Amino acid sequence: MSADGAERAARTPGLELADVAARSHVTTHVLDSVTGRPAAGVAVTLEQRVGTAWVLVETGETDADGRLTALGPAALPAGRYRISFDTGAWFAQAGRDTFYPEVTITFDLADVAEHYHVPLLLAPFAYSTYRGR
């Protein structure tokens, strides 16, 4: 495990060293920016661009804290990837309308030694994302 992982575990209550060591190369965290709460139960898909096709890497669902730390292997090759969030189903389950039934974020994984954290801040009629740590 990296020193960064040990430091993160030490400063994050409830996060065990094993959790940090076992996390995938790409992780996400979805927050409902209207309620200020985690978006639990959002279906997420990670795909890699291979030639002209998108190839499934992994699927998962955000946990009670809105996080998904097991989204594929611990190491991925450099390349273009995309994460898709089934926001329509999540909003429908909550009885809320949305303009965005799906959010897809495409990004380049350039440095295979770096961890890629791709958070999503979600609202019914807006969303934003950034490169997290």
Which residues line the annotated binding site?
29, 67, 130
Contacts of 22 (CB under 8 A, 6+ apart): 69, 70, 74
Whether the per-residue pLDDT at 85 is higher than 80: the answer is yes
Residue 22 — pLDDT band, cuts 50, 70, 90? low
Question: Could you tell me which residue, 4 or 38, shows the higher pLDDT?
Answer: 38
Asked if 29 and 40 count as a contact pair (C-beta separation under 8 A), the reply is: no
Two structure tokens written together for 55: 């190839």
Find the length of the chain: 133
Binding site, annotated residues for substrate: 29, 67, 130
Instruction: List domains and CATH numbers for the chain.
Output: 3-122 (2.60.40.180)
